[in-house]
Amino acid sequence: MESAASLPVPCFIDDLTTTGLAVMPGYVEPALVAALRDEIHAGRSLAGMRRARIGRGEGRRLASAVRGDWIRWLDGSTEAQRRFLGRLEGIRQEVNEALLLGLFEIEAHFALYPPGAGYQRHVDAFQHDNPRRLSAVLYLNRHWRRSQGGELAIYDAEGRELQRVLPEAGTLVLFLSQTVPHAVLPTRRWRGSIAAWFRLRAVDNPLAGLARLQPDDIEPTPVVDRAGGSCGSPGNCERIRTKEAVRISR
């Protein structure tokens, strides 16, 4: 029997260590992707989904020119959701064992972009509360072509575009939440995905997560160019509601 030290390290660990980004086409099997796709496209009427907002507190607002997706938090109410959250939990354990990041819990939501929508350049980090350390995106779209737009664009710290990822069904992308600027380019067809974040535990107060689960109480960090001007949107600004939350904690 192999010891833990001799087991092979998942390939995405090396990618995260060297570039902060791992792109894994076909990582999630077609049957599970199809079940999740059925769930999100049942919401194409947008019933049960809500428009994602930007800002914090009284300053929260809709800004479709910045961020145009509609979201619904995963709550583990279906077999497909539970299976996918289980896959994320496996990643959490592997990353913690290899990189000692101390990832403690997971949150995730469906994101549905209507034609014409996108999400300007940003990082998944918050100015006043930054428990997110690793971001994940699973794509649910069959037969995607580059002419249809909607790619995930990855940038360096100076705003230079490094890579585009096609939002093709089964592709899973992992990246460091605090240091990888990214954007969703405008899409020309309905674009479905699941966005997820691996979070740290609140060290000063282990029960602080309960207080954090109040709706819409996040202010993210916009990307700032070298001249000091804002050159992207805020990050994810929707706060997961307690009744909708799936918290996988260890």
Sequence ranges of the domains in the chain: 17-244
Exposure string (b/e) for 67-100, b if CB count within 10 Å is 16 or more?
bbbbbbbbbeeeebbeebbebbeebbeebeeeee
pLDDT of residue 11: 85
Q: Is the pLDDT of residue 234 over 70?
A: no
pLDDT of residue 130: 77
Report pLDDT digits (tens) over 99-112.
999 999 999 999 99
Q: Is the pLDDT of residue 90 over 90?
A: yes
Greater model confidence, 53 or 206: 53
Name the one residue in this structure whose structure tokens are 């350390």: 133
Lowest mean pLDDT segment, chosen from 42-46, 121-125, 137-141, 193-197? 42-46
pLDDT of residue 9: 57
pLDDT of residue 61: 75
Greater model confidence, 175 or 11: 175
Tokens standing for 148?
């249809």
Dist CA 139 CA 7 (whole Å): 29
- Ramachandran bin of 92, using left for φ above 0, alpha for ψ from -120 to 50, beta for the remaining angles: alpha
Hey, what amino acid is at 100?
A: L
pLDDT of residue 55: 64
**Across the chain, what does the average pLDDT equal?**
80
pLDDT of residue 7: 44
User: 70 near 50, Cβ under 8 Å?
Assistant: yes
Tokens standing for 59?
């300053």
Lowest mean pLDDT segment, chosen from 52-61, 91-100, 122-131? 52-61
What number is the average pLDDT over the span 70-86? Answer: 96
What number is the average pLDDT over the span 48-61? Answer: 74
pLDDT of residue 57: 64
Greater model confidence, 234 or 145: 145
Name the one residue in this structure whose structure tokens are 């192999």: 2
Task: Give the class (CATH, top level) of 17-244.
Answer: mainly beta
Greater model confidence, 203 or 49: 49
Pairing label, strands 132-139, 191-200: antiparallel
- Ramachandran bin of 121, using left for φ above 0, alpha for ψ from -120 to 50, beta for the remaining angles: beta
Residue 4 CA neighbour count, 13 Å, CB half:
4
Q: Is the pLDDT of residue 62 over 90?
A: no
Give the count of beta carbons closer than 10 Å to the beta carbon of residue 162. Answer: 13
Q: Is the pLDDT of residue 118 over 90?
A: yes
